[in-house]
Amino acid sequence: MKYKRLGLIVAFCFTSWVVLAFVIFNENSAKKNDVEIRKSSLVKYIQELELQIIQQEETYKILSDKLKKLAPETKGDTTILVLEEPSGLQQRTPSSTIKQDVLQGAEIILPVIVFSCNRPDIRRSLDGLLKYRPDAKKFPIIVSQDCAHGATAEVIRSYTDASQVTYIQQPDQSEPIVPPGETKFKGYFKIARHYLFGLKKVFRTFNHSAVIIVEDDLDVAPDFFSYFASTYHLLKSDPTLWCVSAWNDNGKARLVDMQQGNQLLYRSDFFPGLGWMITKELWDELEPKWPKSYWDDWMRRPEQRKDRACIRPEISRTRTFGKIGVSNGLFFDKHLKYIKLNEMPVDFSSKNLSYLVQSTYDTDYIRNVYSLPVASAPDVRANTKLPFDGPVRIPYYTKDTFKSAAKLLGLMDDFKSGVPRTGYHGIVSFFLNGRRIYLAPHSSWKGYDLTWS
């Protein structure tokens, strides 16, 4: 009971401080007639508040731990003080260790499909794939071309002549039916139609059991094939995974661990695309409802994702060189061109990847993140006010505080279906000034908010 009262006093002091500070703050800033200044001060202020809440929480945790030690047998009244585990620790499946039969099973054929249209520069992509492909039988390359572009077709044929790739062509060159107001997005309708054609070929005609999907403007890393071949087993055995991607949306050199991060892999609730692998089982599910356009954002919607995650690397295994494409060149100039391609190859077949299985990962990874000391985004950015080394957690509570922290730190700040890029249970991991940092929601996080965009 003593602790309960103490808790109440702490809560009361805190609340009074908040109210007082807010009143003073409001008066002060009302004098300034500048909306922008007020807004940014407010954001800073909210961040301060969040830190305060977290610190209160830590105090609360210490106190309740003490209480548990003092009265381990006590029941009833005091149980309300017992902290709940972070919601992320709940498991979606009872257990899923990598099945031995999958690990030791027959060698799988893992084709790569390259989607192409009117870019003769596909030569660069194909040369990269051929350069690093360890085995032509195990990794057949299929080039699917739309657009019937002559110069590009000629380039592709130069590879089929040497039997290096299989060449298929999307036959339907009619103009897609586009709703009024979306005519400028016609390209996206063609792409979705092309993907449907190509993936049907891979799975229905060629009867493959999985595929790696790339586009004609991607460079691949030397360990691209090792990465996909070794994570295939994970994808097959963990039903809470639905893809493996080679791409880190925050994979700029200054945001990843360039020294030791090359082996590091993550689970991600955000579908990254840009070099990705799926199984036939997933295609069986997606094909009947494949959309007419914007297939990637469609994939990211909850009806398709169904709470499943992708594996993604710390350091990307693909890089795009395609500034000119259907999506705008501005995005390329601002973000895509800075994504670092891994140059220190890893032999993933010799690595123990069990840590990525959901049951293990959700216990270890999430528990670790929420056990870390807390820091504010400005302090992390300045990197001078943190009196210790090692990983930290930056908490966020609202869409706006996420965005302002992301902007400050140079992370992608957008959401798709409420999920921030690279996010897992809302947590975004990155590496800045030699330190691992997790931008993470409150520990009682209950799921993504679809209104965050």
Active site (catalytic) residues = 296
354 binds ligand NAG (CB under 6 A): yes
Rounded Cα distance between 429 and 196, Å, is 33
- Among 52, 360, 363, 398, the residue binding ligand NAG under the rule CB under 6 A is 360
352 binds ligand NAG (CB under 6 A): yes
Residue 166 or residue 360: which is nearer to ligand NAG going by CB?
A: 360
Min dist CB 163 to ligand NAG, Å, is: 22
Residues counted in the chain = 453
Residue 366 or residue 406: which is nearer to ligand NAG going by CB?
A: 366
| Contact range with ligand NAG by CB under 6 A, out of 164-172, 270-278, 338-346, 348-356 | 348-356
Min dist CB 356 to ligand NAG, Å, is: 8
* Site residues (CB under 6 A) for ligand NAG, limited to 186-225: 207, 209
Residue 309 or residue 409: which is nearer to ligand NAG going by CB?
A: 309
29 binds ligand NAG (CB under 6 A): no
Residue 244 or residue 419: which is nearer to ligand NAG going by CB?
A: 244
Residue 206 or residue 338: which is nearer to ligand NAG going by CB?
A: 206
Q: Which residues contact 203 (CB under 8 A, 6 or more apart)?
A: 211, 280, 283, 284, 287
363 binds ligand NAG (CB under 6 A): no
Q: How many residues bind ligand NAG (CB under 6 A)?
A: 6
Q: Are 211 and 113 in contact (CB under 8 A)?
A: yes
Placement of tokens 């897609």 in the chain = 176
- Among 355, 383, 446, 453, the residue binding ligand NAG under the rule CB under 6 A is 355
* Site residues (CB under 6 A) for ligand NAG, limited to 262-281: none
- Catalog residues that contact ligand NAG under the rule CB under 6 A: 207, 209, 352, 354-355, 360
